[in-house]
Amino acid sequence: MAASVRKRARAGPAARVAGFCGQWLRRAWQERRLLLLEPRYTLLVAACLCLAEVGITFWVIHRVAYTEIDWKAYMAEVEGVINGTYDYTQLQGDTGPLVYPAGFVYIFMGLYYVTGHGTDIRMAQHIFAVLYLATLLLVFLIYHQTCKVPPFVFFFMCCASYRVHSIFVLRLFNDPVAMALLFLSINLLLAQRWGWGCCCFSLAVSVKMNVLLFAPGLLFLLLTQFGLRGALPKLGICAVLQVVLGLPFLLENPVGYLSRSFDLGRQFLFRWTVNWRFLPETLFLHRAFHLVLLATHLTLLLLFVLCRWHRTGESILSLLKDPSKRKVPPQPLTPNHIVSTLFTSNFIGICFSRSLHYQFYVWYFHTLPYLLWATPARWLTHLLRLLVLGLIELSWNTYPSTSCSSATLHVCHAVILLQLWLGPQPFPKSIQHSKKAH
């Protein structure tokens, strides 16, 4: 008798938990369509996808062969620093000279020691697997705050991309490290931690300077929020951090460090290009072509600044004023305002890059769902947007690239640019109301 009472007492809490789980599962099944379409379920879907990614990434590491490309070169470059060489012109690996800023050196120096002087590849792969999952978490937090993208899209943003898994855990490039720091920076900006956000942004630039493609958008946001005088301290954080990180190399050979780590005129090899394969190699290498791309890039950025980002009705020069002295009172920047500006700034730079190599895919891969779904034009249905994502993935998985894959990539980029220009801008309603009142 007493034993049966104790058994029922023990079964009570377990039964309640089982009942709760059953009720939750039934509700989730009943709302399965909303679960896939409503952005408010982003964190729930993200948690499931991250759990799936643990298994997928583990499988990729242990079942797909690792391919050596740049890892040994990275290790040779940081080994030169460890051995006391601080002249950037004297640092090089198997693939050529060291061309990344000082932050890269310090981070990969840590990896050098953790992986037994770079020999323990499996350890390095597991570290990059953790980095991949951390990047996904940071990206999902951004999407959760913007509430613009239906959760079903996130499957295509993580589990379905062969190329991105390869870049992270089969190639061990430095690009994922820079982008993880960049997404951390954006999360800090969304939390209104502008100083820390700028600090992390500068750290990302110190790993690889492709992050500078986000810089025009960040500058616009800083001026919008603080005016010129208020933005200068935040810009100072970015500059001072670059000086501090590069100080040992700047003291040794400042010209060599700056010319190597921030070489904006570096020439790319035609055989690796993903986006310009349909051009003759002579045109691809011609400086006039590079200048045309730069001019188009800057022109389009200016058009977005004047016509899409700055919508208060005042002159663009009003951004230089202290916010309290502007005719239209400044409104708090919403998550969509911040994310839209930064992602668009980077995407414009991607569209007019002199060359895109396969590892560069992570420069904008995680931003594509937002760019396609946050400001949708009416003619761009869910199916068409998924088609664009699929064609972009196919273009990046075509090796070697072909004229057709490169042209397809540009067509998809053009579709995204067009809908960014024509679609409704996700700016704060309060700004629009204050404009009408004014």
On whether residue 399 sits in a domain, the answer given is yes
Single out the residue of 342, 403, 431 nearest to residue 139, CA to CA. Answer: 342
Residue-level pLDDT at 417: 95
Chain position carrying tokens 């057709």: 404
Task: Give me the residues of the chain with pLDDT under 70, please.
Answer: 1-14, 17, 20-22, 24-32, 376-377, 425-438
Do 300 and 348 form a contact (C-beta atoms < 8 A)? yes
Residue 67 is part of which domain span? 40-422
On whether residue 96 sits in a domain, the answer given is yes
Contacts of 86 (CB under 8 A, 6+ apart): 248, 249, 251, 252, 253
Phi/psi of residue 147, nearest 5 degrees: 50, 50
Pairwise CA distance, residues 271 & 281, whole Å? 9
On whether residue 396 sits in a domain, the answer given is yes
On whether residue 32 sits in a domain, the answer given is no
On whether residue 116 sits in a domain, the answer given is yes
On whether residue 168 sits in a domain, the answer given is yes
ω into 400 cis (within 30 of 0): yes
Residue-level pLDDT at 331: 79
On whether residue 25 sits in a domain, the answer given is no
Residue-level pLDDT at 436: 39
93-110 pLDDT, tens digit per residue, is 988 899 999 999 999 999
Chain position carrying tokens 């239906």: 150
Token pair of 398, please? 């075509």
Domains of the chain: total: 1
Write down the pTM of the prediction: 0.90
212-270 pLDDT, tens digit per residue, is 999 999 999 999 999 999 999 999 999 999 999 999 999 999 999 999 999 887 888 89
Q: Please give the distance of CA 284 from its chain centroid, rounded to a whole number.
A: 26
Residue-level pLDDT at 28: 59
Residue-level pLDDT at 160: 85
Token pair of 24, please? 């939750």
